Structure 1
Amino acid sequence: MATPVKLYGPPLSTAVSRVLACLLEKDVQFQLTPIDLSKGEQKKPEFLKMQPFGQVPAFEDENISLFESRAICRYICEKYPEKGNKGLYGTNPLAKASIDQWLEAEGQTFNPPSSVLVFQLAFAPLMKLKQDETLIRQNEAKLSKVLDVYEKRLGESRFLASDEFSLADLSHLPNAHYLVTATDRGEIFTSRKNVGRWWDEISSRDSWKKVVDMQKSR
C-alpha cells in the first residue's frame, strides 16, 4: 500500500478545502491533520519548515513538501494522472493551457473580491468583528464584473475551460460555497442564468459534498 499523502489544515479553510476536493476527485489516499489557527499552530517552527509563510495548507508526499493550494492541486493531478478523474487537469497541452488560464482568472480576478466578501460577510460576524460596508460594496461590484464575464463564457461552454469539469471549476468552489450558503449575497451567483446553472452542477459533485460534510463535522 502506498503511503497516503498528508494535508495539514482545517477543512473550513477555503484553501484547504480546495485541495481536499482535488484529492477526492483524483481518488488519492490522504491523511488530514487539523491545524488549530486560533492557537497559532501554523506559526510553530515545525510547521514553518513546510509552509514558510505560516498559512494553511501544507502538503507532504513522501519526502517532498508543498504549499499554496493551486500548486498542490496541479501537483496531485500531474503525479497521479491515472487515478480518479483523469481529465481534471487536461490530457494535452491545449486543454492544460485552457484550464490554466481560468485557474489564473480565479486566482487573480475572482479570488480577491470573493475572499474579502467571505471574510466580511461570513467570518467577521462569527469573530464578533465589525463589518466594513464600504469594503463590502466595493468588492461586490468587482465580483459582479467578474461574474458577468463568466456568464458570457458559460453561455458558450458547459464549464469554464471546456465542456468537461476541471480544476478551473473546482478552484472556485470554496469561496462560492461560503457566499451562496453562509451569506445573504448568494444571488450574485444564482441570479445569473449560466453562472447559476454552473454553480448547481459543480457544487453537487460527490467530491465537494464530501468536503462540505468534513467541514460540518469539524
Structure 2
Amino acid sequence: MAIKVHGHPLSPAVKRVVACLEEKSIPYEFVLIDLSIESRAITQYIAHAYADKGTPLISNDPKKMAIVSIWTEVESQRFDGSASKLSFEIVVKPILGMTTDEGVVDHHQATLAQILDVYESRLSQSKYLGGDEFSLADLHHIPIINNLFGTKIKALFEARPHVSAWCNDILGRPAWQKVQASMKL
C-alpha cells in the first residue's frame, strides 16, 4: 500500500519527505496541494517506523543517534533559517514574479557562510554530519541545497572543499535523483 504525500513539488518540505520515502524504498503516491507540513517530524516517523527497510537513516547506537540528533537540530535551528530565506528570495520570488530583496540576500548569505564554516570543520572529521553513514541529518539538507545550487549561493558551498564534497554526495544519491525526476513541474 502506497503512502499518500500531499503537497507541492516546489516545497522543500515535501521533497524532504519524498526523499526519505525513496531512501527507505517505501511506495508513495504524490497528491498535489498547496499546504505547509512539518516534514522533519514525518521523516522521523518514517525512519523509525520503517527502520528495517531501505537506507538506515537512524542508528541503534545511542551515541551515534545523539550525534545525528544534534545535527538534525543544527539543520532546523541554524541552517534552514538562512538557507530557506535565501531560497525564497532567489528561487521562489522570481518564479512568482516578485522582486528579490538584495539586502535580505546579503544578510542571509553572510549568516549561511558562518554556518558552512562550522559544517566544513565537522565534515573534515567525518563523511556525513552524523558520522560515517548517511542519516536524517544529511537528508534534511538536500531540498534547500538543491535549490541553492542553481543560484549564485552555490559558490558558498563550493568554497569549502569538505562541504562541497558532501553536497555532491548527497545531491547525487539515487533516491534524490528519483525525487527530482518524479517531482518536476
Shift of 1:169: 0.5
Q: How many residues of Structure 1 are paired with residues of Structure 2 in the alignment?
A: 185
1:1-218 maps to which residues of 2 (within 5 A)?
Answer: 3-35=1-33, 37=34, 55-57=35-37, 68-85=38-55, 87-181=56-150, 183-216=151-184, 218=185
Deviations 1:39-88 (A, max 9, x none): xxxxxxxxxxxxxxxx334xxxxxxxxxx101100100111111111x21
Q: Is the 8 A contact 1:11 1:211 kept in 2?
A: no
TM-score normalised by length of structure 1: 0.82
Deviations 1:182-205 (A, max 9, x none): x12211111210000101111100
Q: RCO higher in 1 or 2 (8 Å CA, sep ≥ 6)?
A: 2
Deviations 1:85-119 (A, max 9, x none): 1x211122222211111000000000000011001
Instruction: Tell which deviates more after alignment, 91-100 or 151-160.
Output: 91-100
**Larger radius of gyration between Structure 1 and Structure 2:** 1
**Deviation above 4 Å: which 4+ runs of structure 1?**
none
Gaps of at least 5 residues in structure 2 are none
Q: Is the 8 A contact 1:8 1:56 kept in 2?
A: no
Gaps of at least 5 residues in structure 1 are 38-54, 58-67
RMSD: 1.1
Write the letter of the residue equivalent to 1:184: K
Identical amino acids, percent of aligned pairs: 39
